[in-house]
Amino acid sequence: MTIPVHTLGDYLDLLSEQNLLAAPIPDGLDRNQRVTGLTCDSRQVAPGTLFIRKGAHFQTKFLEMARDQGAMACVSQEEDTVPGLPRIAITDTRKALAPLADRFYDHPSGKLKVIGITGTKGKSSTAYYMKSILDRYQESQGRGETGVVSSIDTYDGVERFESHLTTPEPLDLQRHFANAAQTGLEYVTMEVSSQALKYHRSLCTEFAAACFLNIGYDHISPIEHPDFEDYFASKLKIFAQAHISCVNLDCDHAQRVLEAAQAAGAPIITFSQKYPAAQVYASDVHKEDGQILFTLRTPRYTRQMRLTMPGLFNVENALGAAALCEALDIPEWAVYDGLVRARVPGRMEVYANADGRVLSIVDYAHNRLSFETLFSSVRAEYPERELAIVFGCPGKKAYDRRHDLGEAAGAWCDRVYLTEEDSGEEDTLDICQEIRPNVEKGKARCRIIPNRGEAIRQAVLESEKPTVLLLTGKGRETRQKRGTEYIDTPTDVEYVQAFLQEYDLRHRLTPAAPAQKALETLPALEQVKGKAFVICLPENGQDIAADAAAITAAGGTAVLMQDRAQALSTAQSMHVDKLVYFVDEEPSLALGENRQAELLRMDGKKAAELLSEGALPASLAETLKLALQAVEGGVGRCVILSRTGEHVLLLDALGQRVLGICVSA
């Protein structure tokens, strides 16, 4: 499928039709020019590109760059210009972006079945239930997986990556739809945020079906929604773009939601656990052998459904998916199979220590509605256990969460650990101190530990009674926003797995084989007691995480990080005894040394000489350069270990023979 190329005149006519032109078109603009590119990023401009000015931090130099790289014109709401770059004046950049992107990519959502899901909680889980069902259905027809645009990740048939916005900006969103259409995908399931609806990111997207899950207080701040009414009204806009609307009759303000769907004029499918008159209805909800069973009745069938993900509240999300499947005429067997198989990364993931005393649940819950739903479900399922939670609140947004989450956690939990959660340009300690008084209104004991990894560690290690430990707000996200940058960090899953192993080591429990091996080494690890390590965790580094847990259990300090540069700066600021990196190759072979299972030791001078010779493989040279910077910056030693075997970190700590390089001052 080829996307047609439109002329500049086509785009000017579109802006005129949408009443977005703020001034006459500049003289001399050739309406017959073919527009071969559309972008807001001046670095992506090439001849034939129509450049759109956008962003609070926009600088005049970006206009100059766009002009110098061949932009035909700039579409801009702002009045400032640069010579040689005609300005097409518009009234509202946000309103113009989606129509322009939709035209450029030839209305790709109309060539797909796009499913839109909105709500205060449950969007991601419902989206992944839906994707699991649709994947199963497509598999039966000999087709590949379906697309998804979510707050967890994005897959469009061409690109696959971890997401950082619930709903992308219009140019990105329409590109994803175009990729999906060009690669033959039939379905794309997407989360639709209130911000996307308010600021027109999802404008022009044609929803084959849309689902409204629920509404609660969230995202109330000067830079998001000024009040609940603005938030609610934004959410309701989804119905205007849907061919079929699915409405949860159990949600707060359900009557208003239903009236908004009716006003949009499309057919409506209702779902409920409370009202048997709903078209999609769940009854007889109960747990059996750790799974959740319920009877699902739709206009086409009645049968028992099974969820293998924990959390009674997930029945609501499954009902939303089932209602969407009614709208799309997805067969009963695919709904059943998809729900049974469904897994949602970073949502209700359960991990336990060796004897089950500490049960940890990793979940993305991040607003009052999702917190109270999670707490209620956990208390119902584990009434005899202590309840602990690790969470924080983001910087410069959703300020109401600092009150709401603190108050809810204090009322429901026994222990609360406040920590970093995308603090951005605010100080983590300041945010936590703002949350704390709300926690202390309740019964919970509260600690502030700004380092998220250490907060999780303390929450695990302080679990003396049978405990459910909730790690909320991040799921499997691999980055923290610090300042204006996103920094790579271990996920909550990686943290808790390592610290549960440490818990077992400290309590001399019967652990799994890797932890048992580590346990046996504890007496020999006496030399690491009191020493500090920064360890740059490699991909698939579960054995390294177990080694780090053993080092910590033996009295050392092991800081796990994923970003190599961040590991370097942390090691230098802490003046640690050892910084550890990992490489895939065998350094001795790369250096022409005929040694086996031996650590090559060198000082900074030798490392600098090797780098100056320029003969090292790029990845090893880059790592050796970091090692040199480390020892020059006050780190005792930097070790580069080859990942040619497992548990090399532990072997090195024990003084065993390993492949690698050790650089010291």
pLDDT at 512: 44
The three-state (H, E, C) secondary structure of 524-583, written as one string: HHHHHCCCEEEEECCCCCHHHHHHHHHHHHCCCEEEEECCHHHHHHHHHHHCCCEEEEEE
Residue 147 forms beta bridges with which residues? 188
Q: Are the C-beta atoms of residues 436 and 406 closer than 8 Å to each other?
A: yes
Domain harbouring 386, CATH code: 3.90.190.20
What rounded mean pLDDT belongs to the chain?
89
Alpha-carbon distance 184 to 100, whole Å? 23
* 324 and 297 in a common domain: yes
Decide if 325 is inside a domain: yes
Q: How many CA atoms lie within 13 A of 233 on its CB side?
A: 8
Phi then psi dihedrals of residue 578, to 5 deg: -150, 135
For residue 15, pLDDT over 90 is answered with yes
Alpha-carbon distance 283 to 51, whole Å? 54
For residue 192, pLDDT over 80 is answered with yes
Which residue type sits at 477?
A: E
* 313 and 290 in a common domain: yes
Decide if 516 is inside a domain: no
* 488 and 636 in a common domain: no
For residue 391, pLDDT over 50 is answered with yes
Q: Residue 244 has which token pair? A: 């079929």
Alpha-carbon distance 121 to 371, whole Å? 9
SS3 call for 162 = strand
Decide if 154 is inside a domain: yes
Decide if 121 is inside a domain: yes
* 547 and 454 in a common domain: no
* 277 and 337 in a common domain: yes
Contacts of 214 by beta carbon, 8 Å cutoff, 6+ apart? 119, 120, 121, 122, 248, 250, 251, 252, 316, 369
Which of 162-171, 243-252, 471-480 has maximum average pLDDT?
Answer: 243-252
Q: Residue 247 has which token pair? A: 């409405």
What total number of domains does the chain contain? 4
Domain harbouring 639, CATH code: 3.40.1160.10
Q: Are the C-beta atoms of residues 248 and 319 closer than 8 Å to each other?
A: yes
* 491 and 535 in a common domain: no
Segment 382-394 shows an average pLDDT of: 95
Residue among 468, 420, 404 nearest 217 (CA): 404
* 198 and 330 in a common domain: yes
Decide if 514 is inside a domain: no
* 562 and 433 in a common domain: no
The better pLDDT of the pair 616, 198 is held by: 198
Decide if 506 is inside a domain: no
Domain harbouring 290, CATH code: 3.40.1190.10
* 162 and 205 in a common domain: yes
Residue at which a domain ends, from 498, 533, 557: 498
Q: What range defines the domain where residue 133 resides?
A: 108-341
Q: In what order do the strands lie in the sheet with 637-642?
A: 557-561, 532-536, 578-583, 637-642, 660-664, 599-603
Lowest mean pLDDT among 225-229, 273-277, 540-544, 566-570: 540-544
Contacts of 646 by beta carbon, 8 Å cutoff, 6+ apart? 543
* 215 and 195 in a common domain: yes
pLDDT at 60: 86
For residue 146, pLDDT over 70 is answered with yes
* 287 and 143 in a common domain: yes
Residue at which a domain ends, from 294, 309, 341: 341
* Burial state string for 421-448 with b = 16 or more CB within 10 A and e = fewer than 16: bbbbebebeebbebbbebbeebebebbb
- If one counts every other C-beta atom within 10 angstroms of the C-beta of residue 634, the result is 13
* 528 and 484 in a common domain: no
Decide if 464 is inside a domain: yes
DSSP state of 5: P
Segment 134-159 shows an average pLDDT of: 93
